[in-house]
Structure 1
Amino acid sequence: MNYCLILIWHHSMKAIRIYQIQSILCLILLIVLSKANAQQKHMPLITLAEKSQNLEAVKMSSNGKYITSRLVYDLNRDTLLIFKTSAKDKLLGFRTKIGEHYFIGENTLLLPLGNTAELWNLQTNKQIIFTDIVQAKALTGSTQFVIHYGHQNNSKLILYDQNGMAKQTLENVKNFFLLPEARIAAVKYDDKKAVSQLFIVSPAEIKKVYSSSLLIEDIEMGHGSSEIFISERNTTDKYQNLKYLDFYNGELHVLKDILPVNFNAAYLENTKDEKGYFIRLWSEGKAEDGMVDIWYGSDRDLIQKYYPRGIESAYLWQPKEGKIQDLGRQDLQNIISLGNGRYFLGINPSILNDYTVFNPDIEINVLDAEAAEWKTLGRFTPEIYVSDNGQFLLSPKNSQWFLYDLKENNTIPIGDTKLTKPFFAQNDSTIFFEGEDGLWQYNITSSKLKKIINAPGYTAKIINGNVNLMSYSGISKNTVSLQYPLLVQLSDPDKMITKFMSWHNGKETLMVKPSANLYTEPAYNNQIKQLCYIEQNYNLSPRLTYIQNGKKEQILFQTNRHDKKVSAFRQETITYADGKSNPCQGLLFYPADYSESETYPMVVQIYEKQGKVKNQYLNLSLHQTEGFNTRALLENGYFVFYPDIIYGNQGSGIAALQCVTNALDALKFKKQIDPKKIGLTGHSFGGYESNFIATQSDRFAAYLSGTGNSDIVSSYFNFNLNYLMPIFWRFETYQYRMHKPFSEDKQLYYDNNPIYNAEKVSAPMLLWTGMQDENIKWEETRSFYNALRRNKKPVIALFYRNEGHSLLNMDNNLDLSIRTLDWFNYFLKDDYSSSWIDQEIKKGAD
């Protein structure tokens, strides 16, 4: 009897398992079919999006005759277009799957592609193909290039001229480093003998200059043309060795001979003092071990809990004199060279960090290495600019700029709030300021400030300045050369008008006349006689435009010639006020094939101020990382509205609600917009705003929110693994603009917290997030889903595995793009053909 029961139970369980497997297979099949049907439904749009083109990465040859630019499609961006500006047919040709590429001299292009490279003489249209290559690079400032071949060619390193003629050949090369004056440092390594050999390769000769039992990892140039630094490492340990070599006379100096310390990495910087070099030595720190990790409330450097900072020491090394000067101070974490060999900055970036601001102030200490004296300069905002010769520091404070003269030990105020980003002239005589109403010049000697390009209403931006970020974030060396003209972009942020001008020795020249079109990625030569840029507008597909010596612009290439609709698109600026009567603007895009006699649904997209979309081409893409595309909605018969949001002291959620509500009121005169068919969407901070508005408004028929905070009280106290710090700053002094901590005004946080009012949501919500998101923890999305579910609100949540704050996987962002269209079509156009929505809503189902 027991045997029979066991046998019956066994067969029953087997049947249940078969049924479960069949159910799972059916569910998988339904999901696959549903996804396939969804994509098939939007296939005309997908096909059109795959044809859509854009441009990026413009380059110009030194003589301005040849231009390259990448042609970008929805699914790839590896097509390179090559143009000859003087030819009748401007497009010389194109290449695909090209990464980095180089102009060699004035008329030749080097195109590495995988294990091959092409040398293309653009003047004669002759090509040479090189195969079995490992790497191909141009030598900066010369007409030479180098190719490192693979094992089939004995790992040869060959130096070529611009005609593809071999000048020097060296076999069995492991690695190489580019040096000035068309030279190469090539490393051979004999695995059997464990010996490294270093050769200097130039067009004139190949010279063996050094050998070692250590593995050569890096080569850096010193002051003179024959002075180099060699970084080596023993293959059996993790410590690095640093040596100075003058390969002209063979003079060799080893750092450990004068400084017997172990270090894992060395960082070297040249100084204006031709005898000295600034070196930073770094030794790795040890992660805390043991059964407990102790966190102290006074700890201002919590990033070390995840990435131990290690120990950094700084020195001024004069190898030929056999001298080394310790620049460190135990209380200072970072030592920064100003480049002149005399002055150095010392900071402890965490000492003023209480995590209430993203970039905390820093206390600046200055070392005068000649006097071996430290002094405290004071508290600075983390926006410090260093002059080319390192004598001056420039930093803003209380809406005013201050110039610090380290040599004369004085401080000079530069009093104009219209000044923004500065650039020092390379002789430290002048500072050029980007700013409002034009370009400004400050003479350091006379302490006089004047406007050198007068452009009322325009904001100036220097295009051809050099920006050198120094070893600490927030400190940079911005310079311009007075030898060549300055190229200045002038933009009117209110009228969205842009023009280009050049300035040289007091003379200003209009390069590109004012236009409402958007100009991006300008390419130019040193004399600014030729200029090329990408030009576009919402109703103008991107095109590559070229101008020479102020002559009439030439269109080198026009994208999307198939896009006949774009010129007919309409856009309107809608004015309204925020909750405190401050003027605001919103951009309204009209649907494709618009007719005044019809009514249309509308999707409102929110973030902060969004005026930048005004003159951006309405590019059709279904692979946006946020799943939202304006053109896709317009093609589907929607209005799309971008209202600006202005923030006060009421909290960002309430500010968004007031602005969006008033913006909708301003649209009531638009009889073509169906007020009962309006949807709201936002991503990240816009996702939070969408979550909040959904709990307060009855103006929307559907909501879509991506990776947005839903519980700002809980999130306020989170430790953010994206930034590796507490996130108080995001709420108090950054995007959420609460202006005070939670403890001082809890009601303010409560009043702006979406999840506390989840029961008030009056329309269906689609939520999405990436399950690897640490910017806004993905649990914020699941918590809001739970709150809506508990209150019996219609909600669907999409959790994308292996994705972060935005969706990078092409299949995933296509899926989200399609679901976005499905969602709004379902609730705003009564298109009930999406079964994945039916499973929650049951509306329109059989």
Structure 2
Amino acid sequence: MMKSFNPLFLLFLCLLLAVGQELTAQNDPEKLQKMADSHYELSKLKMSENGRWLTAWKSYDLNRDTLLIFDSRAPGKPAAYRTKVTNISFPGSNCLLTKSGQRAELLNLEKQTGAYFHGVKRVQALKNKDQFVLHYNAEGDNRFELRHASSDLLNEASRVSSFYLAEDDHIYVVSETENSEFEVLRIRDQVTETVYLSPRKISSLTVDPGGQGIMIHEQNPEDSSPNILYLDLKTKTTWPLNGLLSRPFQRAFTDVISEGRVYSLRLWVQRTKEDTSLVDIWYGNDKGLEEKFYPPTREAYYVWEPKNKKLQPLGNKQLTKSANIGNKRYFLSFDPYLLQDYTKRAPLKLFRYDRLENTYTVIDTLSYSLYTSPDGQDVLYFKNNSWQVYHIPSGTAMTVGGSQLKTPYFTTDDKAVLFDGDDGLWRFDLEDRQLSRTGNFEGTRVRILNESSKPIPGGFNFSRKTVDLEKPLVLELLDSLNNERSYVLWKKGKPKTIIPKTSKRIQYLNYNQAYDCFSWLEEDYNLPPRVVFKAMGKPGRLLYQSNPQDTAILSLKREIVSYTNSDGVPLKGILYYPLNFDHSKQYPMVVHIYQVQSKKRANQYPVAAYGKANNDGFSLRLLLEQGYFVYFPDIVYGDKGTGLSALDCVNHALDAVSSNGLIDHEKIGLIGHSHGGYETNFIATHSSRFAAYVSGAGNSDIVRSYFSFNFNFLSPFYWQYETGQYDMNQSFSDNKDLYFQNNPIHYVDRVNAPILLWTGKNDRNIYWEQTMEFYIGLKRNNKKVVALFYTKEAHALFAPEACRDLTSRVLQWFGYFLKGETNAEWIDQEIKEDAG
């Protein structure tokens, strides 16, 4: 007997069909890519010296080569744009020089007219003149041109192999003559002078900062070692190195100590022949384990006095590295492996070398960065929670101040050191050796932005940071309690506000040499990036608002959640609500974990990342668009160990939002990558609060990892556990229980929710087999698991097709287990008993 048909049943079927189609559409690759392509970021903001013209790159998910050009006198929309641009500069106040492939363009910004130059391989604007240079490719005879910002040709040369811009805006050009000789030309405006001529090919030049001379590197047809000579530009006299040095070398690097007179010389010497012995023997007292895998280029150090025809070696068989600190008598020497035991950052036992007396004196043992004064008289380093200043000539040291002092900057007049840091600026007088606070900014962390920084050559963690107190200082003031920043111009104790205190994210703060024009990018979680311009003494003006079509983001709701862990440590979490959420409904939630996230994630505009922009499968914007809460809790570590501490913090973070009735607390997913992947693995073995997990490239067996070699850091991995990111503060031998209790693989049988694992098989940081072995453990215990192994990818994904694949699968995974979507056959293959 046929039953009567219920029209409500038909309506129900139609609704089911519509919902199924909608769910399918949500994860359609074309629609996801279209969504990602509908939002963009701004980056690399630059400003002309007169403050009128600004440029910024417009970055979509897949397309990142569009340059926007703005006129600060005409806000609202770009004055122009260019595509496929790789670099830019302002050769004059109203001109923009761009390069795209083998084509350069000089754009007159006022007239919006351009002059094009084809076959160009390199362009560069002069720093202090309205001029620029072009270097053409072989089809253009490797021609070199010097042009005015008006595009008028000022000077040129043919058959040019390279050019160098000196600090005084002289240009040094290396070219080949018609007689197959090689010459160095000095060019300034319309004047050309030949300063050197040689039958040997010139490979490179190093110009003295003051322009007194040039180091010339030539290829030597007789052997593989280059010819090096010093040229005095005033007398045109040369002094060769070759008569003073007998050992062969591959490359040489020179650095000024006393211009025209004394230079430091660092040589890459010939490597020994490849070892063909039967066995490679490793000893327990070996230093420099990274050299087992990547044999280094050996280095030799000298002091060279060209005009005196003197060459003096630096270092000895024990102290193999030397550093030029700008002092013609004293140098720093050390053995980088002497104290290396790989339990922490390698400390250095540092020596002062006196080259006049040929003596070595211990300075100290230090583990952090070292900063040198411009005159080479003093060095600063942080040790035992305080700053130490060591006076090189006298060999005396003293303590300056504690951890409230952050980065030191020597003043250019060599009279003082200025520290930024907590509650203000601090000044240490180098003559009377007294510390005082020179700028009072209570309650903030102060950072100097317009400092000058120069690394000490040789690959050491030594640098020279300076500030010029004749100019104003640009300061960032961070209120870490409220995660707010302000920016001020400070000179002789008087601050002027550039940007008032704001919770917005500020990037690419620009200022001209007169410090009267400023520009920056600002954004927030509910505000797309925008360009702001400010003339000093006037309010800031909005020049351009990006993503005007993104009206949905304006209503995005976000909460800062406060909680404590079991140790009473105050923590925060950022909770994002689904876009266009309905107060009458409940929504699933995805929890993203790493370590402390609240300071980095709180004020960032969420763009949809799908292809290139998403290398770990997690896209905040796509999750918000698809109806998820997204939660970023802070995690800190305590005595119970990394995994248990993460579990504790996440539990308290979930408790803090437990009263939110809009969250479906039965449908919460957890996701993490790298260190967050390890935390996800561990929490999955100990928690019953999550309905699904996604773990990317994370350790699963920390005991195995502890005893492995990390090819990303070129070091045994155990330092990461004892004093690095895992912060266990004990060795495995001293507390095996601590490591066992925080090891995910030991509890793999306790995982009680489906888990998606992924990694790249070329991962040099977390070995991909850590993911495979966790998969094996889950499989052995009949747990629901799918593992994705991207054969050509590394610790994070690079190829767009891999990024898209992972992002789609993560969305489908959470959709399947948190929202009941059923359109993923690759998940059915694992979950449904009759699959396959």
> Closer, same or farther in 2 for the Cα pair 1:409/1:93, shift >3 Å?
same
Whether 2:601 is the aligned partner of 1:613: answer yes
2: CA distance between counterparts of 1:809 and 1:386? Answer: 43
2: CA distance between counterparts of 1:476 and 1:843? Answer: 63
2: CA distance between counterparts of 1:448 and 1:554? Answer: 43
Q: Of 107, 130, 136, which aligns to 2:123?
A: 136
Question: Equivalent residue of 1:181, what SS?
Answer: coil
Q: Deviations over 1:742-772 (max 9, x none)?
A: 1111111100000111110000010000110
Q: Deviations over 1:448-474 (max 9, x none)?
A: 333333222211111111122223432
Answer whether contact 1:487 1:502 (CA < 8 A) is retained. Answer: yes
Whether 2:648 is the aligned partner of 1:658: answer yes
Which position in structure 2 is the counterpart of 1:367?
353
Structure 2 unpaired stretches of 5+: 1-23
> Closer, same or farther in 2 for the Cα pair 1:52/1:90, shift >3 Å?
closer
2: CA distance between counterparts of 1:307 and 1:780? Answer: 24
Which position in structure 2 is the counterpart of 1:13?
none
Deviation at 1:480, TM superposition (A): 0.9
Deviation at 1:648, TM superposition (A): 0.8
Deviation at 1:189, TM superposition (A): 3.9
- TM-score scaled by length of structure 1: 0.92
**Which range moves more in the overlay, 85-94 or 103-112?**
85-94
Deviation at 1:226, TM superposition (A): 4.7
Whether 2:154 is the aligned partner of 1:167: answer yes
Question: Equivalent residue of 2:704, what SS?
Answer: helix
1: CA distance between counterparts of 2:31 and 2:244? Answer: 72
* Corresponding letter in the other structure for 2:733: S
Whether 2:338 is the aligned partner of 1:348: answer no
1: CA distance between counterparts of 2:444 and 2:643? Answer: 32
1: CA distance between counterparts of 2:348 and 2:333? Answer: 10
> Closer, same or farther in 2 for the Cα pair 1:69/1:843, shift >3 Å?
farther
Answer whether contact 1:97 1:113 (CA < 8 A) is retained. Answer: yes
Deviation at 1:183, TM superposition (A): 2.8
1: CA distance between counterparts of 2:511 and 2:207? Answer: 28
Matches within 5 A, 1:292-311: 292-311=279-298
Q: Of 383, 399, 408, which aligns to 2:394?
A: 408
Which position in structure 1 is the counterpart of 2:548?
561
Q: Of 265, 273, 280, which aligns to 1:279?
A: 265
Which position in structure 2 is the counterpart of 1:17?
none
Q: Of 133, 136, 139, which aligns to 1:146?
A: 133
2: CA distance between counterparts of 1:341 and 1:59? Answer: 39
> Closer, same or farther in 2 for the Cα pair 1:211/1:843, shift >3 Å?
farther
2: CA distance between counterparts of 1:222 and 1:771? Answer: 48
Matches within 5 A, 1:36-55: 41-55=28-42
Which position in structure 1 is the counterpart of 2:685?
695
1: CA distance between counterparts of 2:210 and 2:443? Answer: 48
Which position in structure 2 is the counterpart of 1:594?
581
Which position in structure 2 is the counterpart of 1:749?
739
Question: Equivalent residue of 2:677, what SS?
Answer: helix
Which position in structure 1 is the counterpart of 2:478?
491
Q: Of 707, 728, 741, which aligns to 1:717?
A: 707
2: CA distance between counterparts of 1:372 and 1:429? Answer: 29
* Corresponding letter in the other structure for 2:485: T
**Which range moves more in the overlay, 335-344 or 606-615?**
335-344
Whether 2:823 is the aligned partner of 1:837: answer no
> Closer, same or farther in 2 for the Cα pair 1:607/1:558, shift >3 Å?
same
Aligned-residue CA RMSD (Å): 2.0
Which position in structure 2 is the counterpart of 1:203?
189
Q: Deviations over 1:428-462 (max 9, x none)?
A: 21222121122222222233333333222211111
Q: Aligned pairs, how many? A: 809
Which position in structure 2 is the counterpart of 1:804?
794
> Closer, same or farther in 2 for the Cα pair 1:272/1:528, shift >3 Å?
farther
Answer whether contact 1:683 1:706 (CA < 8 A) is retained. Answer: yes
Question: Equivalent residue of 2:644, what SS?
Answer: helix
**Which range moves more in the overlay, 822-831 or 118-127?**
118-127
Answer whether contact 2:142 2:158 (CA < 8 A) is retained. Answer: yes
Answer whether contact 2:213 2:260 (CA < 8 A) is retained. Answer: no
2: CA distance between counterparts of 1:521 and 1:211? Answer: 45
* Corresponding letter in the other structure for 2:558: Q
Answer whether contact 2:167 2:210 (CA < 8 A) is retained. Answer: no
Question: Equivalent residue of 2:445, what SS?
Answer: strand
> Closer, same or farther in 2 for the Cα pair 1:677/1:712, shift >3 Å?
same
* Corresponding letter in the other structure for 1:797: A
Answer whether contact 1:243 1:254 (CA < 8 A) is retained. Answer: yes
Q: Deviations over 1:456-514 (max 9, x none)?
A: 22111111111222234321111111221110011112211110011112222111111
2: CA distance between counterparts of 1:716 and 1:647? Answer: 18
Deviation at 1:175, TM superposition (A): 2.6
Matches within 5 A, 1:244-263: 244-263=230-249
Question: Equivalent residue of 1:615, what SS?
Answer: coil
1: CA distance between counterparts of 2:25 and 2:77? Answer: 42
Deviation at 1:295, TM superposition (A): 1.1
1: CA distance between counterparts of 2:577 and 2:305? Answer: 68
> Closer, same or farther in 2 for the Cα pair 1:247/1:429, shift >3 Å?
closer
> Closer, same or farther in 2 for the Cα pair 1:217/1:350, shift >3 Å?
same
Question: Equivalent residue of 2:79, what SS?
Answer: strand
1: CA distance between counterparts of 2:455 and 2:539? Answer: 37
Deviation at 1:352, TM superposition (A): 0.6
Which position in structure 2 is the counterpart of 1:819?
809
Deviation at 1:796, TM superposition (A): 0.5
* Corresponding letter in the other structure for 1:755: I
1: CA distance between counterparts of 2:270 and 2:731? Answer: 36
2: CA distance between counterparts of 1:704 and 1:512? Answer: 41
Whether 2:379 is the aligned partner of 1:393: answer yes
Which position in structure 1 is the counterpart of 2:5?
none
Deviation at 1:38, TM superposition (A): 8.3
Whether 2:573 is the aligned partner of 1:583: answer no
Question: Equivalent residue of 2:249, what SS?
Answer: coil
Answer whether contact 2:29 2:804 (CA < 8 A) is retained. Answer: no
Deviation at 1:198, TM superposition (A): 2.8
> Closer, same or farther in 2 for the Cα pair 1:371/1:505, shift >3 Å?
farther
Q: Of 202, 213, 217, which aligns to 1:231?
A: 217
Matches within 5 A, 1:492-641: 492-611=479-598, 612-623=600-611, 624-641=614-631
* Corresponding letter in the other structure for 1:516: S
Structure 1 unpaired stretches of 5+: 1-36
Answer whether contact 1:499 1:513 (CA < 8 A) is retained. Answer: yes
Which position in structure 2 is the counterpart of 1:327?
314
Answer whether contact 1:832 1:845 (CA < 8 A) is retained. Answer: no
> Closer, same or farther in 2 for the Cα pair 1:342/1:86, shift >3 Å?
farther
Whether 2:442 is the aligned partner of 1:456: answer yes
Answer whether contact 1:649 1:737 (CA < 8 A) is retained. Answer: no
Deviation at 1:88, TM superposition (A): 5.1
Matches within 5 A, 1:72-87: 72-87=59-74
* Corresponding letter in the other structure for 1:764: P
Which position in structure 1 is the counterpart of 2:79?
92
1: CA distance between counterparts of 2:835 and 2:439? Answer: 66
* Corresponding letter in the other structure for 1:446: D
Deviation at 1:716, TM superposition (A): 0.6
2: CA distance between counterparts of 1:224 and 1:403? Answer: 29
Which position in structure 2 is the counterpart of 1:65?
52
Q: Deviations over 1:261-319 (max 9, x none)?
A: 21111111112455211111121323433221111111111121222223322122121
Q: Deviations over 1:708-748 (max 9, x none)?
A: 00000011111122222211101111111111111111111
Deviation at 1:153, TM superposition (A): 2.9
Whether 2:334 is the aligned partner of 1:383: answer no
Deviation at 1:223, TM superposition (A): 5.5
- TM-score scaled by length of structure 2: 0.94
Q: Of 767, 771, 783, which aligns to 2:761?
A: 771
Q: Of 657, 664, 669, which aligns to 1:679?
A: 669
2: CA distance between counterparts of 1:844 and 1:582? Answer: 49
Deviation at 1:149, TM superposition (A): 1.8
Answer whether contact 2:388 2:398 (CA < 8 A) is retained. Answer: yes
Deviation at 1:798, TM superposition (A): 0.6
